[in-house]
Amino acid sequence: MDFELSEEQRAYVASAREFARSEFRPHAAQWDQAAIFPKDALKAAGGLGFMGMIVPEAAGGLGMTRLDASLIVEELARGCTTTAAFLTIHNMASAMIGKYCQASVVDTWCPGLTSGERLASYCLTEPGAGSDAASLRTTAKRDGDVYRLSGTKVFISGAGDTDVLVVMARTKDEGSRGITAFLVPADLDGISYGKKEDKMGWNAQPTRQINFDDVAVPAVNRLGEEGQGFSIAMEGLDGGRINIATCSVGTAQQAIVDAVDYVQNREQFNTRIADFQHTQFQIADMLTELVAARQMIRLAASKLDHQDPNATTYCAMAKRFATDVGFKVCNDALQLFGGYGYIREYPMERYVRDTRVHQILEGTNEIMRVIISRQALMGGALEVIQ
């Protein structure tokens, strides 16, 4: 079992690290404080292929493995957690379009999506359907050459500022088997957007409610077949859990780098903070847990790439562990900064705010525990741990 990165993978990391250092990190605080959605930076990321990392090559993307994409996302998150997270959501929605839409629709939308000229949002969550996604109530009723889409989606990243929506809606009253996915141009008649949510973190991407009032969606814009939407959504969530776990690890890595630099230059009682044994133990634990989380993510990504039958469980484990660790590391790093960690002159408080939501989205960490324990209780624990 080889844990070393290939030369090609190291090149991905170096490219992403330099891009994050020059294009994301210098502006991240301003984007956060002024709630700026950095479309120009995302377009620049598209110039390097980062907006279409997991989009199939036939649709104009890079067709990367989940493992390779995670290497890039980790570095981007070191520059700006929020922007990297949106980039992964855009990738997920764009990959669904590239994989499941008809060729004519792919040709219309994917060139702009993979270049970053156009942006995509993913619309699954509803006011009454969060963790229980199969209970969604948004409906799409066939009417000749169109579907009539009605309902409400909430907590939609990029909503109101993106060009296309991948929407999960109910075409039949058959639980998860009655859900279908649609590509919906974001400016169709009947679509309205709620206020921009005032959030604890993730301020560099807008989050809004979307209302659909008898929106006429061309039938050709359907992803896959009727009733296939839930499986498409769950497939996307496995990768999404790797993505958000990776964003946590990338942010935590930068938090450790910043904290180590700070404690080596800050003195108390005529002694560098770095020379106190408690500080050394704290940093040792932070780094050890971070490396463990990173390796768990890479294992899960590899399992997903190789279509392992237990890949969903591995992804749930990685998401649960890495997002908990990422938040804890950022919080511990803030503590090492003392009072300075709490003020916005330093990025620590932003790291903490931005990573907190990772324990909630893409399936709460409580739901991740349900997925993992279900596998064990079904007798599959031995396969999972091998």
Kindly state the DSSP code that residue 129 receives in the 8-state scheme: B
Q: Provide, rounded to the nearest whole percent, the portion of the chain with pLDDT above 70.
A: 98
Q: Are 46 and 115 in contact (CB under 8 A)?
A: yes
- Per-residue pLDDT reduced to its tens digit, 234-278: 999 999 999 999 999 999 999 999 999 999 998 789 899 999 999
Question: So which residues are the catalytic ones?
Answer: 362
Residue 56's pLDDT is 96
304-315 average pLDDT score: 94
Residue 305 has pLDDT above 80, yes or no: yes
pLDDT of 133: 77
Over residues 77-88, the pLDDT tens digits come to: 999 999 999 999
pLDDT over threshold 90, residue 90: yes
pLDDT at residue 201, rounded to an integer: 97
| Pairing of β 164-170 and β 179-185 | antiparallel
The model's pLDDT over 316-374, given as tens digits with 9 standing for 90+, comes to: 999 999 999 999 999 999 999 999 999 999 999 999 999 999 999 999 999 999 999 98
* Percentage of the chain exceeding pLDDT 90: 90
**DSSP per-residue letters across 186-251:** TT-TTEEE-PPP--SS-TTS-EEEEEEEEEEEEGGGEESSTT-HHHHHHHHHHHHHHHHHHHHHHH
How far is CA 313 from each of CA 238, 307, 375, 381, rounded to the nearest angstrom?
9, 12, 7, 10
Residue 129, both tokens: 């359907």
Per-residue pLDDT averaged across 56-61, rounded?
96
| pLDDT, average across residues 86-106 | 97
Whole-angstrom Cα distance, residue 15 to residue 7?
12
Confidence bin at 203 (pLDDT 50/70/90): very high
CA Rg value for the chain: 21
pLDDT at res. 375: 86
Amino acid at 320: R
Domains of the chain, first to last: 7-118 (1.10.540.10), 121-227 (2.40.110.10), 230-385 (1.20.140.10)
The pLDDT of residue 384 is 53
pLDDT of 270: 86
Span 127-151, average pLDDT: 91
pLDDT score of 130: 76
Residues contacting residue 27 through CB under 8 Å, at least 6 positions apart: 38, 41, 80
Q: What is the mean pLDDT of the chain?
A: 95
Q: What angle do CA 54, 126, 353 make, to 5 degrees?
A: 70
For position 381, what pLDDT does the model report? 56
